[in-house]
Amino acid sequence: MEISTLSTDEYAYIMLSGSVNDGEIAKLEAAFRKVLEEKVKKVALALEYVPNICSSGLGLIMKYQRLLKDQHKTLEVHGVHDSLYALLLSIHFDKLVKIKKKATIPVV
């Protein structure tokens, strides 16, 4: 899994590429900790190039969704791989986090 981050006036973006497995969780957590410090009110997680994610990864995303909410920030998913989208809908993840199926990440 590869991770990159980008901040704009409106969003802090966390962009992932590749499968998210247990061995990659520390990298994902570091990215979330970084955006927690950002002054923006919205955090966008890009999952367009993530075909699957382990349960620990989903748990971590849910943990940081709650921490962001405690800071009056919102987490959104911008772009989701087709196979991952089906999984997220099956566990009602869309009830916790706004999901935009198509990516809206700015190009730099």
Tokens of 29: 């957590």
Find the domain containing 19 and state its range. 2-100
Domain count across the chain: 1
Question: How does pLDDT run across 53-71, given as a tens digit for each residue?
Answer: 999 999 999 999 999 999 9
Whole-angstrom distance, CA of residue 75 vs CA of residue 40: 11
Is pLDDT at 97 greater than 60 in this prediction? yes
Query: How many Cα neighbours within 13 Å face the side chain of 35?
Result: 34
Q: Is residue 36 part of a domain?
A: yes
Contacts of 10 (CB under 8 A, 6+ apart): 40, 41, 42
Q: Is residue 59 part of a domain?
A: yes
Q: Is residue 107 part of a domain?
A: no
Q: Is residue 105 part of a domain?
A: no
Q: Is residue 41 part of a domain?
A: yes
Question: How does pLDDT run across 10-22, given as a tens digit for each residue?
Answer: 999 999 999 999 9
Question: How does pLDDT run across 25-44, given as a tens digit for each residue?
Answer: 999 999 999 999 999 999 99
CA 22 remoteness from chain centre: 16
Whole-angstrom distance, CA of residue 102 vs CA of residue 60: 23
For residue 23, what is the domain's CATH number? 3.30.750.24
